[in-house]
Amino acid sequence: MTKVFTKEVVDDLADKLLIGLTPEENKMVLDEFDKIDADIDRLNAIDGLGEVEPMTHCLDDFVYELREDVEEESVPIDELLQNCDNYVDTEIKVPKVVG
């Protein structure tokens, strides 16, 4: 089933997502869908693509080697805090990011 993206379809989807679009933004989205459709058509035209097994990782022959844990001496906290502008005791103060 091919879904045709029209101005009305894009506006309807934008309204459902509560992100109203300007006419310019709607045209930009439609242009992007045209490019995506063209790219998909190009991919579908590749002979034998359906028989290719998908990769599970970009480097299927990648070998995982874990290093042995080695205990090392830590940097003193006072020395680390010299890099901070704002701290209380041994805790760094950061801006609030949640309302």
Give the pLDDT score at 50: 86
In the predicted model, what is the mean pLDDT of residues 86-94?
Answer: 90
> Considering the chain, what is the average pLDDT of its residues?
87
Is 75's pLDDT higher than 50?
yes
Domains of the chain by residue range: 1-69
Confidence of residue 1 (pLDDT cuts 50, 70, 90): very low
Give the pLDDT score at 26: 92
Length of the chain: 99
Structure tokens at 10: 């894009």
For the stretch 22-61, pLDDT in tens is 999 999 999 999 999 999 999 989 999 889 888 777 776 7
